[in-house]
Structure 1
Amino acid sequence: MNSIVMDPPEAVAAAAGTPRAKPRRRWLKRLGYVALALAGLALISHFVWVGSGDNQWKLAREHDGIKVYTRKAPGAALLQVRGETRLKSRLAPMVDLLENVSNCSDAYCYDAAVIDRVPSVPNHFASYVTYKFKMPGLAPRQYVLFVQHAQDPVSKEMTLSLTAAPNRVPRDPCCVRVTHLNNFWTFVPHADGALDVSLTQDTDLGGLPYPMANLGLIESTDLFMKMLPELMAKDKFRNVQVDGVLEATQGNP
């Protein structure tokens, strides 16, 4: 009688072409194709986004008297963002909030200092300042800025600009130094106590993917507009005076 010799399981699997391994390889290959397709789609989307834009302001959101606009320039990945609102406030408290480094904590920063005050003509102001901000989930950011304001002595309208001056002082290992920032505030005071406020942000925080950075610019601009009425109602700002700043009801200098 002939005996039947059974091959061990390993030999059977090898003879059958390792059926357990083949499905695994097929799935890995499919995942590779999917990853390549997604990478290609992301690359195409990037070039489409960067090449898009008409450099026109468009309303992104509106609520509670606040309007937020965005502007996309062809060739740029980051948006410019502008927020507008009207509140009850004198002009001096708003200027003090933005130029007095002792108000740092009111703007969510944890360290601020004046580096240098720059002589300026009447109705103007200029200084170099540095601010450090905690960024949730990110390394802290440090802003070194040239701050200046100019006021029309007749209309009392004021523009306050902030421009990055990243090489004004040595880099601090504590933080990521913001190298691109060109923001400005516009204030239009009215005799009835109303103040029209506009903030335009052209900022690159550095180290953030631009979809996240663009969303952050929109949200931060909206947040600034929401915060202002509550800040201006604080006792520390209610009666503050700023040298050289004229209110709507004051005469010309």
Structure 2
Amino acid sequence: MQAQITPTMVEPVIPAARKAGPSRLRRYLKNTVLGLTFLITLSFIANWLWTMSGSNQWELKIDEGGTQVYTLKAPGATMLKIRAVMQTKEFTLSNHLAPLLDTSIQEDCAKWVPSCLSYKILQQWDPKTQSNVTMWTLGMPGPFSPREILLQGQLTQDPTTKVLTLENIAVPNKIAPNDCCVRLSHVHNVWRYTPIGDGNIKVEFVNDMDMSGAFPKFLLNLGAPGEIHKMLTIDNPKLLRQEKYRNARLAFIDEGLAK
């Protein structure tokens, strides 16, 4: 008598590759999680080491075309301070400061700052206090939110040396925040113009700001020195050559040795 074989008595043959599938997937997921954890940990360590590093000394990064650009890394800071220095006799003190009073920049601010979405003068220039309040809105590459830079500009001039100093300091609480943007809380940028005789003026710019929020700040640290060098040597002189600036004579500025 032949033995009867029922379907339940036959064990299906499963290819080895199919048997190993779930196990291989689990190993892949485990290795992926471990790899990501390692990269995140490494990123935090690198960021911490960078933040804690710094000589707190100015170091020369660019010296081209008569313009020097220096960077300073302070321990505890994530952003570099940048200082640029040049000399020029093409413009007077009034020429350099004329854009400060130019309300038309509100119509096309991208000429001055390529990423500018809007520029608003919240408090007009006051000759008595030598100050104003402005707000720049800068576009950021996705997925980062636009940045608002709310600034109080303060101008001073040394009566003896005629050195002219314009400080732009963040005043983030001057008006209510906007949901559209991240408002910068730390900005202290300084323009200094020093007459040095024979019509020459030493121009110095110090950039000290933090973009706030989630943003790859290392990209700014890499690119900012070159951008500031270009601003002083190419972009700003081109804009200042406009007739409305070249013909400016500001009564509250003593041209001093730059005459």
Report the TM-score, using the length of structure 2 for normalisation: 0.80
- 1:74 match: 75
1:116-161 Cα distance to aligned partner (Å, 9 max, x none):
655747xxx1222223333444433222211111112332211110
The runs of 5 or more residues in structure 2 that have no matched partner are none
Q: Counterpart of 1:127 in structure 2: which amino acid?
A: N
Higher strand share: 1
CA drift at 1:111: 2.6
- 1:164 match: 170
The alpha-carbon distance between structure 1 residues 82 and 99, as it changes in their structure 2 partners (threshold 3 A), is farther
> Please, which of 213, 216, 225 is the counterpart of residue 209 of structure 1?
216
> Please, which of 94, 109, 112 is the counterpart of residue 107 of structure 1?
112
Alignment of 1:1-253 (within 5 A): 7-10=11-14, 13=16, 18-87=19-88, 88-104=90-106, 105=109, 106-108=111-113, 109=116, 110-115=118-123, 120=128, 125-137=130-142, 138-207=144-213, 208-215=215-222, 217-226=224-233, 227-249=235-257
The alpha-carbon distance between structure 1 residues 62 and 6, as it changes in their structure 2 partners (threshold 3 A), is farther
Equivalenced residues, count = 245
SS at match of 1:145: strand
How many Å separate the matches in 1 of 2:103 and 2:149?
13
Q: Counterpart of 2:153 in structure 1: which amino acid?
A: V
How many Å separate the matches in 1 of 2:101 and 2:49?
40
SS at match of 1:34: helix
The runs of 5 or more residues in structure 1 that have no matched partner are none
SS at match of 1:156: coil
CA drift at 1:173: 3.6
CA drift at 1:200: 0.7
The alpha-carbon distance between structure 1 residues 136 and 31, as it changes in their structure 2 partners (threshold 3 A), is closer
Deviates more, 1:128-137 or 1:226-235: 128-137
CA drift at 1:113: 1.1
How many Å separate the matches in 2 of 1:6 and 1:86?
93
How many Å separate the matches in 1 of 2:199 and 2:123?
34
Q: Counterpart of 2:192 in structure 1: which amino acid?
A: T
Deviates more, 1:234-243 or 1:106-115: 106-115
The alpha-carbon distance between structure 1 residues 37 and 198, as it changes in their structure 2 partners (threshold 3 A), is same
SS at match of 2:51: helix
Calculate the aligned-residue CA RMSD, in Å.
2.9
CA drift at 1:181: 0.7
The alpha-carbon distance between structure 1 residues 58 and 167, as it changes in their structure 2 partners (threshold 3 A), is same
1:73-104 Cα distance to aligned partner (Å, 9 max, x none):
11122221112222321111211224534334
Deviates more, 1:21-30 or 1:228-237: 21-30
The alpha-carbon distance between structure 1 residues 250 and 49, as it changes in their structure 2 partners (threshold 3 A), is closer
The alpha-carbon distance between structure 1 residues 92 and 117, as it changes in their structure 2 partners (threshold 3 A), is closer
Q: Counterpart of 2:134 in structure 1: which amino acid?
A: V
How many Å separate the matches in 2 of 1:201 and 1:40?
31
CA drift at 1:219: 4.5
1:148-186 Cα distance to aligned partner (Å, 9 max, x none):
111123322111101111111122344322221111111
